């Protein structure tokens, strides 16, 4: 598929996908439509204005309907932000900095396995895999295809104990720096992409192995509540600069959207990116909410690339 100008590229039209029946692979089944009492979550699930993988979307809806999000999120966020303020202040005042990546990641795996719902665990592991697919797609079609690609593809929560969160951030930053350097060194790279066409080999299915059948009584926390709690420990186990770098990584969604649009020539979908203006970064106290948005935007972007791949295979792109 050749790169075309933004002015001639028509907006991508997602095919209307049939809604799946509920099963182990299709986690959400809408209720019968009651016109006098419509279900808001069903409407959110069946709406396809913004394409999202339906299995992932089913787990998202189940996570959003978790009672802990309704009743515990606000007090958890308040307590977490008070603790975060104390930790950040103390670490800035100390004459030395300290970090412990091993403790951080093993604690994260233990916390998620012990307290987070299976839906939250699924979405966290999947997000890291989607990030690797997107980075690798940009490298395959970028100014220097020899840039080191991501090999970070966890499939279980225990896999996250192997420094997965730190590696996820390092992959992003090293990619941005390498990609920018390659753009400067090869100013005509877009023309080369036009000549060879886009490769979608890196946009591949991801394998996530989370056991939804064993629900221990403590594994109740929704995704955002889990992130609010763990960001406190995250800040404790990183130096001040490393924690700031991790928070700033959430500000690159708009950049990645523009990277993809430069390749496809399609800027019509970028309005779905809400994490904008990277030169005006959000506060660290908003990091849990911004991480939620980052995960959703990654789902949008990955599904968009899957649809472009289907178009290219069918000869319509």
- What region does 315 belong to: left with phi over 0, alpha with psi -120 to 50, or beta? left
Helix intervals (H) in 186-286: 189-196, 223-237, 240-248, 253-264
Tokens 């409407």, residue located:
43
CA atoms of 53 and 98, how far apart (whole Å)? 40
Mean pLDDT of all residues in 241-266 = 96
Q: Is residue 265 one of the residues assigned to a domain? A: no
Q: What pLDDT digit, counting tens, does each position of 40-55 carry? A: 999 999 999 999 999 9
Q: Any bridge partners for residue 116, and if so which?
A: 221
Q: Is residue 5 one of the residues assigned to a domain? A: no
Q: Is residue 143 one of the residues assigned to a domain? A: yes
Using CA atoms in the order 83, 84, 86, 91, what is the torsion angle rounded to 10 degrees? 140
Q: What is the number of domains present in the chain?
A: 1
CA atoms of 112 and 157, how far apart (whole Å)? 7
- What region does 265 belong to: left with phi over 0, alpha with psi -120 to 50, or beta? left
Question: 15-52 as b/e, with b when 16 or more CB fall inside 10 Å?
Answer: eeeebeeeeeeebbebeeeeeeeeeeebeebeeeeebb
At residue 278, φ and ψ (nearest 5 deg) are -65, -20
Q: Is the pLDDT of residue 3 over 80?
A: no
pLDDT at 51: 94
Q: Is residue 3 one of the residues assigned to a domain? A: no
Provide the token pair at 95.
Answer: 């004459």
**What is the model's pTM?**
0.91
Q: What pLDDT digit, counting tens, does each position of 106-132 carry? A: 999 999 999 999 999 999 999 999 999
Q: Is residue 24 one of the residues assigned to a domain? A: no
Provide the token pair at 210.
Answer: 């989370």
Contacts of 76 (CB under 8 A, 6+ apart): 225, 228, 229
Q: Is residue 136 one of the residues assigned to a domain? A: yes
Please give the DSSP secondary-structure letter assigned to residue 209.
-
- Provide the residue range defining the domain that includes 103: 54-244
Which one has a higher pLDDT value, 21 or 124?
124
If you count them, how many residues does the chain have? 317
Q: What pLDDT digit, counting tens, does each position of 191-223 carry? A: 999 899 999 999 999 999 999 887 788 999 999
CA angle 81, 86, 92 (to 5 degrees): 120
CA atoms of 114 and 111, how far apart (whole Å)? 5
Q: Is residue 221 one of the residues assigned to a domain? A: yes
Q: Is residue 284 one of the residues assigned to a domain? A: no
């Amino acid at each position: 598929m050749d790169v075309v100008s933004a002015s001639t590229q028509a907006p991508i039209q997602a095919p209307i996908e049939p809604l799946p029946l509920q099963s182990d692979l299709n986690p959400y089944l809408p209720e019968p439509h009651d016109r006098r009492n419509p279900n808001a979550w069903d409407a959110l699930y069946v709406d396809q204005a913004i394409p999202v993988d339906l299995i992932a979307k089913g787990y998202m809806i189940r996570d959003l309907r978790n009672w802990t999000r309704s009743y515990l999120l606000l007090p958890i966020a308040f307590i977490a932000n008070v603790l975060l303020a104390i930790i950040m202040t103390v670490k800035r005042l100390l004459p030395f900095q300290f970090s412990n990546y091993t403790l951080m990641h093993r604690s994260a795996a233990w916390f998620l396995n012990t307290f987070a719902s299976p839906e939250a665990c699924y979405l966290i592991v999947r997000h890291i895999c989607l990030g690797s697919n997107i980075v690798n797609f940009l490298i395959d079609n970028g100014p220097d295809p020899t840039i080191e690609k991501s090999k970070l593809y966890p499939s279980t929560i225990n896999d996250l104990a192997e420094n997965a969160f730190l590696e996820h951030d390092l992959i992003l930053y090293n990619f941005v720096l390498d990609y920018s350097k390659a753009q400067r060194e090869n100013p005509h790279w877009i023309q080369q992409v036009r000549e060879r066409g886009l490769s979608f080999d890196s946009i591949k299915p991801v394998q996530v192995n989370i056991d939804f059948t064993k629900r221990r009584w403590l594994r109740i926390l929704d995704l955002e509540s889990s992130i609010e709690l763990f960001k406190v420990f995250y800040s404790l186990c990183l130096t001040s600069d490393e924690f700031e770098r991790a928070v700033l990584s959430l500000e690159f969604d708009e950049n990645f959207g523009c990277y993809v649009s430069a390749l496809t020539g399609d800027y019509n979908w970028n309005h779905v990116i809400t994490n904008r203006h990277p030169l005006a970064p959000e506060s660290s106290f908003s990091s849990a909410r911004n991480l939620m948005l980052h995960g959703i935007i990654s789902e949008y972007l990955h599904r968009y690339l899957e649809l472009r791949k289907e178009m290219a295979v069918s000869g319509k792109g």
